[in-house]
Amino acid sequence: MPETFDPSQPDLQQKAKEMSKSKFLYVTYIRTTADKVWDALTNKELMKSYWFNMHQESNWTAGSSWEMKDSKGEVWDSGTILESQRPHRLVISWQHQHHEDARAEGYSRMTYLIESAGLLVKLTVSHESGVENSDLIAKVSGGWPMILSSLKSLLESGEALPYPRKAA
């Protein structure tokens, strides 16, 4: 049975459900299992390799807090786990903390949908904002493809992609 966050602030989940003015959508197929994808999405140490030394902290249950931190422990993003259905669906309310223009937009909603596809797993990532022409969605649209490609590489070959901005 899926866990769904029933917030003490009744409008938080409703606002998250209404988001659709700006959206990033990415689908990839990975030769692995749904459980391994879930573990990679929720395991702090695995994240560091494919998120280029960033990681997320949460207990991954509906209603729990969520933070994205850099290697120094600085919080870049924070929010709440809205839904958690291992190993199929994870929904996070997401507010950027590092850049004022993106932080001022308030909360966005990020959804991982993990589906079996024969010998593969179909991973769909949707990141939505209720803000038209969202600066946050523009920013994450540049990062998600590299992060998800690195995740795919890690799960299929055991090695994440190198950080593209580091000198060879």
Contacts of 157 (CB under 8 A, 6+ apart): none
CA-CA distance, 161 to 9, in Å (whole number)? 40
CA-CA distance, 88 to 84, in Å (whole number)? 8
Which residues on adjacent β-strands are paired with residue 29? 122
Amino acid identity for residue 87 in this structure: P
SS (H, E, C) 55-104: EEECCCCCCCEEEEECCCCCEEEEEEEEEEECCCEEEEEEEECCCHHHHC
Q: State pTM to two decimals.
A: 0.86
Cβ atoms of 128 and 141 closer than 8 Å: no
Positions in the chain whose pLDDT score sits under 50: 1-8, 16, 167-168
CA-CA distance, 6 to 29, in Å (whole number)? 32
Which run of H or E residues covers position 46?
Answer: helix 44-50
Instruction: Evaluate the omega torsion of the peptide bond into residue 7 and state whether it is cis, within 30 degrees of 0.
Output: no
Query: Residue 64: what pLDDT?
Result: 98
pLDDT tens readout for residues 23-66: 999 999 999 999 999 999 999 999 999 999 999 999 999 999 99
